[in-house]
Amino acid sequence: MLTSLTSFLSTFTFSIAALMSFYTSQTEAEFNGIVLKGNRNGEEYNITDDKAVLDFFRDNSGKSAKEFTHAYLSNTKFFWWRGSF
């Protein structure tokens, strides 16, 4: 049981970190509406999502890792299941 829980938590933590990294941007652009511009290794890519999601990442991804993580994990709009248990 403990091994399964540890494996789940490691995978969950990595998934959240990867998602937050992908969405990290403070640069807006026009491309069939408003998008954020991501950049990995010098390659730009468009980040499209609901306006509220883009606004959140634009406004928070420049914060320290601790502040950004806290803002993301405490945003109940991203976690529909919170409070369901």
Strand-pair partners of 47: 36
Q: Which two tokens stand for residue 39?
A: 């950049």
User: Which of these, 59, 58, 52, lies nearest to 76 by C-alpha position?
Assistant: 52
List, for residues 28-78, the tens digit of each pLDDT value. Answer: 776 667 788 888 888 888 888 888 888 899 899 999 999 999 999 998 887
Question: Region 6-23: what's the mean pLDDT?
Answer: 88
Helices (H), the chain: 2-23, 51-60, 65-73
- Identify any residues that bridge with 35 across adjacent strands, giving them in sequence order: 29
Write down the pTM of the prediction.
0.75
Residue whose pair of structure tokens reads 């914060």 in the numeric block: 63
Residue 58, token pair as written in the block: 């634009």
Residue 82 confidence (pLDDT) above 60: no
Task: Return the higher-pLDDT residue of 34 and 84.
Answer: 34
